A and B are shown apart, each in its own frame.
Chain A
């Protein structure tokens, strides 16, 4: 999977950190650090994180979404 967070938009509400603690973490009060390439098995957790984000800053692409889309 591929993940990117719009960090202009992110306001460190940390909901992703609760929804997918293995893949999102806050450093200090508001620096969000995330795994840009989580394994496919984390799909449910990542989907929860996307839905939980109150400012809609997380974008995820699942591997199968890219099938046949090129290199």
Chain B
């Protein structure tokens, strides 16, 4: 297919790069991008970092495009419904857009504080989009006496790092056992905890907040499950993300807050697991069976995945699922916080062992390899990014774990349990 109409629902990184890939592959028909925000696609990683330190303006991260897109933009209008039989997308303003192919890239949203009346208190924030970052930055400029961050995933930790960089007092209440434990385990997370403490963060593991309390409509303190309170003038709720699939209700697709299921060619699956040849998904919203991990369904909130999966979907849309093959991009992400450049390759979830293969936490520079059932599944570098690419092949090949032994700086590798908490809910991470 090279003409007709393709609609892209979602105008963020995946939507933009998917649209560009369609043009790059010769699609000459009508291309329409729909976005719920009134902005051109923008980059999110700076929003939790240099936007909060004031070094980058919230509106300055518009993504560069590639080539002439020749697209129609419907910005500020969310996708509101899908008529699969009629091949049409319904928008929030009542417009209907017929399509030959649809790319769903509606992403995810911050998991809100579950008690709506408390979430409405002034000074209670979540961070996902540009407006969130602008609102948070504006509140920070009033120099709150103490900022409380709920959750110590990547967003919570990066926000804590940014706020310490501008000298604000920060408490992190983490329901989990260590920063980034869900993503990286407690071995690596414990190292990050040391850096957090050195930066002056009041970090409290195993701490669950039950209530946010205000005075005069503004948040003043958080009440803890174990008793006691934490005083705070500003609260950042950083308890993970929910996939934006609610608008697909009634469309008969296999979708929930954990993702929209699709196959290796990015075709969405109906409730019976059958692919729809005209509708595709990519980016944070997409959940697909990863061939490198035994076909386990994964949904990744990764910058690189948004780019690569959108390009894969574009290929499958134009040339068919067989030509595109099964999407098997190696998961990869980065984070920077507390002076640490953290980079990861592979999928850590489900790992049963970790070993520091090179460098040492003592020197602040190391590489940790993760194994599952004796096979290498992932690697994380801490201020050692150039050591990471060497692990791509062992991860792809499922090489014996650990893949490198007898290194000059690590003559006897010690394999440890990685300390990954159980699934969300089991450990009570949700308040």
Question: A22 interface residue, CB < 8 Å from B?
Answer: no
Q: Which residue of B has the minimal Cβ distance to A71?
A: B73
Q: B303 touches which one: A8, A33, A65, A71 (CB < 8 A)?
A: A8
Question: B289 interface residue, CB < 8 Å from A?
Answer: no
B66 contacts which chain A residues (CB < 8 A)?
Answer: 59, 61
Inter-chain contact B43/A36, CB cutoff 8 Å: yes
Docked CA distance A33–B162 (Å) = 13
Mask, B175-205, CB within 8 Å of A = 1, is: 0000000000000000000000000000000
Question: A12 interface residue, CB < 8 Å from B?
Answer: yes
Docked CA distance A30–B365 (Å) = 11
Q: Which residue of B has the minimal Cβ distance to A12?
A: B385
Inter-chain contact B332/A8, CB cutoff 8 Å: yes
Inter-chain contact B43/A71, CB cutoff 8 Å: no
A71 contacts which chain B residues (CB < 8 A)?
Answer: 40, 73, 75
Interface residues contributed by chain B, number (CB under 8 Å): 37
B291 contacts which chain A residues (CB < 8 A)?
Answer: none
A60 contacts which chain B residues (CB < 8 A)?
Answer: 64
Check A8/B343 contact, CB under 8 A, given A30-B383, A36-B46, A71-B73.
yes
A41 contacts which chain B residues (CB < 8 A)?
Answer: none
Q: A31 touches which one: B65, B307, B341, B365 (CB < 8 A)?
A: B341
Check A69/B341 contact, CB under 8 A, given A2-B63, A7-B45, A29-B383.
no
Inter-chain contact A69/B69, CB cutoff 8 Å: yes
Question: B339 interface residue, CB < 8 Å from A?
Answer: yes
B386 contacts which chain A residues (CB < 8 A)?
Answer: 11-12
Inter-chain contact A11/B385, CB cutoff 8 Å: yes
Question: B293 interface residue, CB < 8 Å from A?
Answer: no
Inter-chain contact B60/A37, CB cutoff 8 Å: yes
Check A70/B64 contact, CB under 8 A, given A8-B343, A33-B55.
no
Interface residues of A in 8-57 (CB under 8 A from B): 8, 10-12, 27-31, 33, 35-37
Docked CA distance A65–B55 (Å) = 26
Q: B383 touches which one: A28, A59, A69 (CB < 8 A)?
A: A28
Interface residues of B in 21-37 (CB under 8 A from A): none
Inter-chain contact B64/A59, CB cutoff 8 Å: yes
Q: Which residue of A has the minimal Cβ distance to B42?
A: A36
B307 contacts which chain A residues (CB < 8 A)?
Answer: 6
A8 CB → nearest B CB, Å: 5
A1-B64, A70-B73 given; 15 more Cβ-contact pairs under 8 Å: A4-B64, A10-B385, A12-B386, A28-B383, A29-B383, A31-B339, A31-B341, A33-B55, A35-B60, A36-B61, A37-B61, A60-B64, A61-B65, A65-B65, A70-B71
8 nearest A-B pairs in the assembled complex, by CB-CB distance: A61-B64, A2-B64, A37-B60, A31-B336, A30-B341, A70-B73, A8-B304, A36-B61
16 A-B residue pairs with CB within 8 Å: A2-B65, A3-B64, A4-B63, A4-B64, A8-B332, A11-B385, A11-B386, A12-B385, A28-B339, A28-B383, A29-B383, A36-B62, A37-B57, A65-B65, A71-B40, A71-B75
- Which B residues lie at the A interface, using CB under 8 A? 40, 43, 45-46, 50, 55-57, 60-66, 68-73, 75, 303-304, 307, 332-334, 336, 339-341, 343, 365, 383, 385-386
